[in-house]
Structure formats: structure tokens, C-alpha cells
Chains A and B, each alone.
Chain A
Amino acid sequence: MMDTRHPIYLDYAATTPVDKRVVETMSGYLGMDGVFANPASVDHAGGAQAAAAVNAARARLVEAVNARPSELIWTSGATEADNLALKGAVQAADGETPHIVTVSTEHKAVTDTCRHLENKGARVTRLHPDTDGLIQPAAVAAALEPDTAVVSVMWVNNETGVMQDIPGIARVLHGHRCLFHVDGAQALGRIGIDLEDSGVDLLSLSGHKIYAPKGIGALYVRRSARGRLTAQMHGGGHEQGLRAGTLATHQIVAMGEAASLARDELFAESARIRALSGSFLESVQALPGVHLNGHPEQRAPHILNLRFDGVDGEALMADLAWRGRGLAVSGGAACSAATREPSHVLRELGLDDEQARASVRFSLGRFTHREEITAAAEKTRDAVSRLRRISPLWDAAV
């Protein structure tokens, strides 16, 4: 019997709960009875065991993306990985004013870092996607300059789920000396990733998007790119000198376990989630004036960014969250209640402020069940219909 008071969680793109199997694994690396020692203290058995656990986790994560263990740098999360990739590449580049090519719809971890580097003297070209959210590889090629140090394009957009043509972009970058960085936080565990022949030099990964805890992530650094990054964290030379700091054994073991589970269950899980999100979309589109933001096919299965004509996103989210059985969803992005700033990603797709504000992100995950999707769709239809009865904009439109 399902607890109907328990909210329906459809915000997996924001974060995921830790998988019980992951909790069980990581709990063996915390207490006095566990492998708590510092993995750098290899002169005693506990430390050696911790180092072995870190190495095993590294092997499990690289296996999930087809890379080598030496190509993985543990970080505190994808934001730190993005910072290391971009700042590290620009600082290691030759020339006075290195050039960056990026996309206007990137996550803030990339856009804010690029802005910071621009303020420090780097030059930044920001490509604008088409109305489906896609960047054409030819546009990336056209933006390249002789001193382009790094090209940064996210694989799966965190707001819309739109999937960029990373292999296509890698092909046009072939032969250019720039590094190719990809933010893969929303891609890992959602789409198949094979880095070996991908042409990707740097890939940011996050633990808490794949049912590991918050506070752990990694940067994949292709072996040929290792000498072309400058460390951003100093103090002990851990992680091949690229990221100092005592390794968080329990977090690392958790991310290794989560990556293995994600790899083993990827095919079945993505098919199941694709079917559920398809059902949800079909069900809410029984109402008129409900639109999917972003490309209808070139997308990861877990994110649906929907726009409801005549309805304000804040009121809709409040209705969904607090009336009856709660539904946890997100605005287009950080739709701040104070500033009510519309999403920069949706505006880049050509939506006006009213359309951007009428948009809500639903994101599904491992623990989303069909009955939850049925209930969530019904609740969403009810809330949209209710708010439309109040809305003068909807009244004027129909």
C-alpha cells in the first residue's frame, strides 16, 4: 500500500537519493570497525586497504565510461571538475589571452567560470543554440581560433534534457590543438558513454546525480591532456598533482558502486524511464496548450521541461508541491522567488519571459513508479486546469 502522504519526487535532475546498496557499501568505510584510515597512509594495513578501495572504485567508474584508471581525478563534484577543467586548461595555455568556446545554455558551473576567466583576460565565444536547444558542430568549428585553449559543451542539458551531438563536435575539433571539455553530470547513468574513441579530453562527472551522495565527483582527463591542465588545489600532490586533499574513501567507494550499478542497469533503466516519461507527456498533453521545451527526440529520457500556456510556473509549482499529495518538481532553473528571474536556458531557446515562466521541469529516476507517474500527471492536469480558470491570460487566449 503506497503512502499517499509521501510526496512524489520528480526532481531527479536536481539530485537523487542514495541507493540503499550504495549506502550499505559506503558505511563500511567510516567507523572504527571499517576501513576509515587515510588512503595516503599506505604504511599500515588500514591505509593500504583504503587505498585499494579507492583504486577499486576508480576502476569501477572508468569501466562505466570506458576509460583508464589513470585518467580519473576525484573531485568534490561536477562543479569543481568544471572549474578544474576550464581554469586548468586556460592557465596552462600559451599566450596572453587564451580563447574559450562555450555555449550560452551551459550550467552555471561553466558559464560563471567562463565569466571569471573572461574577467581575468581570457576571451570567450558563446555559441547560441537553435530553438530546439542544439548546437551544430559546424558552428563550433567556425568559432575556433588559433589560440582556442578549450571548447566546453555539456552533454545533456540539466534544464531541458537536450543532448548535444558530442561525437559530431569532437569530429570537427579533430586536428585542432584545443582541449574538448564536456560537462557530463546529467549524462552519466542516463546515456551510454564510451570515452575511448570519443574525442572528449575532459569530462566532468557527479556522484549525486547517479544515486551516490553529494560531495563527490570526478574529472576524466584523457592521458594526452594531462600535461595541459594546471592544478587548482594545492597541498599534498594527490591525484597526480592535479587535485590535493585527503581522498574521501567512503564517498569514492560510493561513487564507484553507483557507477557500476548505473552501468549494469543503464539499458533497462533508461528504457523504463523513457516509457514513463512518454506516458507522463502524453497524459498531460491531453490538455491543450502544453508544450515540450527542447528537441523532441535528441534528448536524455529522464528530463521533461514542459510549458503550460496561461499558467505561471511559481503558482503551478506551489500548487503541485503543497495542495494534496505533494509533487516535488523544479522551475525551468533557479527561478528565484525573490527576483523571479526567468531561466537563461529557456530564453536562449527563444522563449519570451512569460513562456519561460510558464515552464516546469519534471525529472524521473530509478525509484519512479508507474502509479506515481499516473498520479503526478493527473495532479498536474488538475493544477493547470485550476490555475487556468483563474488566469486572465488563458481567458483571453481561448
Chain B
Amino acid sequence: MSDTPYSDTVWAHFDNPGNIGRWSEDAAEVRTGEARTPAGQDVLHLHMRVRDGLIRESRFQAYGSVAVIAVGSWLSEWLRGRSVAEARDLDSARIAEQLDLAAVQRYCAIMGQDALRAALSARRETRD
């Protein structure tokens, strides 16, 4: 839908986001990271199931602008099957480039990176 004020990638993810939701609190192998803007206006939760250094699945929840929802959806798709090492290398510039974010939406890419880093450094007890 090119007549929106958003990039095609942002709109596609907002229009039809993938991997919405989270796992239950006590699910195994789950790591969760959260990012907020300073004023608490936008919120991004990123969840992933990690086993043997590989991200098996990812889900997201987002509140805020169209772009932060798109970033959450894009990240949840991109992360699936990636190694933790690859995920650590993903930075906000790459996220912004992949989603073709406008300058005023760049903060959403930074939120994506922050949520991802928070999730990667989260340690949870594994219950098999």
C-alpha cells in the first residue's frame, strides 16, 4: 500500500504483523527484553526461545507508533533460526535500513536494538 506515509516494509509489517504475543511466565528457554522511550510513550517487548545458542522462535508485543510495531514484527521474523552471535551483531542502523525508516522513526530501530540486547542478556532458569 504505497499511498500510506510509511515505507512499504513498515506498512507490510504493521498491516500484517507476525509472531504476536509471548510465552507463559514459566515456559522453558524463554528470554525477554523490554525497551521504552524515555517518556514511556512507546513500549516494545521482545521474547525468544533460545536453545544451544540458536534462537528457535521469537514473539513480540508493542505499544506505540506504527514503526515500533513494524520493528517488533520484523525482528521476530528475522531472529528465527539465527544464532545468538548473529543477533548480537544486529544494530539499530541495520534495523532502520532494513525497514527503510524515516528520520523521525529511527528511535524505533534503537528500541529494537535495546529490546534485543536486553533479551539476549536475560538469563532464565530452564525448566525442561
Interface, chain A (partner B; CB < 8 A): 310-312, 314-315, 318-319, 321-323, 337-338, 340, 353-354, 357, 387, 389-395
Contact = CB atoms under 8 A, between A and B. Distances in A.
Interface centre among B1, B39, B72 (most CB of A within 10 A): B39
Contacts, number: 60
Nearest to A357: B41
A97 to B, nearest CB: 37
Interface of B: 1, 3-4, 6, 11, 14-15, 17, 20-22, 39-43, 45, 60-66, 69, 72, 104
Contact of A390 (B3, B4, B20): B20
A312 B45 CA distance: 15
The 10 closest A-B pairs by CB, nearest first: A392-B61, A391-B63, A322-B4, A392-B45, A318-B66, A393-B63, A338-B104, A312-B64, A314-B65, A390-B20
Given A315-B69, A318-B6, 7 more contacts: A312-B64, A314-B64, A340-B41, A353-B39, A354-B41, A357-B41, A390-B60
B64 A395 contact: no
Given A322-B1, A395-B61, A390 B69 contact: yes
Given A315-B65, A318-B14, A340-B65, A389 B20 contact: yes
Given A315-B69, A337-B104, A392 B39 contact: no
Q: Determine chain A's interface SS by DSSP, over half rule.
A: helix
Given A315-B69, A318-B14, A323-B15, A390 B1 contact: no
Contact of A353 (B1, B17, B21, B41): B41
Contacts of B40: 353-354
Nearest to B66: A318
A303 B61 CA distance: 32
A322 B11 contact: yes
30 contacts: A311-B63, A312-B42, A314-B64, A314-B66, A315-B14, A315-B64, A315-B69, A318-B14, A318-B66, A319-B14, A322-B3, A322-B11, A337-B104, A340-B65, A353-B39, A353-B40, A353-B41, A390-B20, A390-B60, A391-B62, A391-B63, A392-B43, A392-B45, A392-B61, A392-B62, A392-B63, A393-B43, A393-B63, A394-B63, A395-B61
A337 B64 CA distance: 11
A390 B18 CA distance: 10
B62 A390 contact: yes
Nearest to A339: B104
B53 to A, nearest CB: 27
Nearest to B45: A392
B22 A395 contact: yes
B108 to A, nearest CB: 12
A49 B8 CA distance: 56
B66 A310 contact: no
Interface centre among B4, B66, B104 (most CB of A within 10 A): B66
A58 B22 CA distance: 64
A310 B63 CA distance: 8
A82 to B, nearest CB: 31
Contacts of A310: 63
Contacts of A314: 64-66
B39 to A, nearest CB: 7
A390 B43 CA distance: 11
Contacts of B14: 315, 318-319
Nearest to B102: A337
B63 A312 contact: yes
B38 to A, nearest CB: 12
A309 to B, nearest CB: 11
A276 to B, nearest CB: 28
Contact of A315 (B3, B39, B45, B66): B66
Given A392-B43, A392-B61, A318 B104 contact: no
A319 to B, nearest CB: 8
Contacts of B43: 392-393
A308 B122 CA distance: 32
Contacts of B17: 390
Interface centre among A353, A354, A389, A390 (most CB of B within 10 A): A390
A202 B4 CA distance: 42
Nearest to A392: B61
Contacts of B72: 390
A310 B62 CA distance: 10
A170 B17 CA distance: 54
A361 B58 CA distance: 36
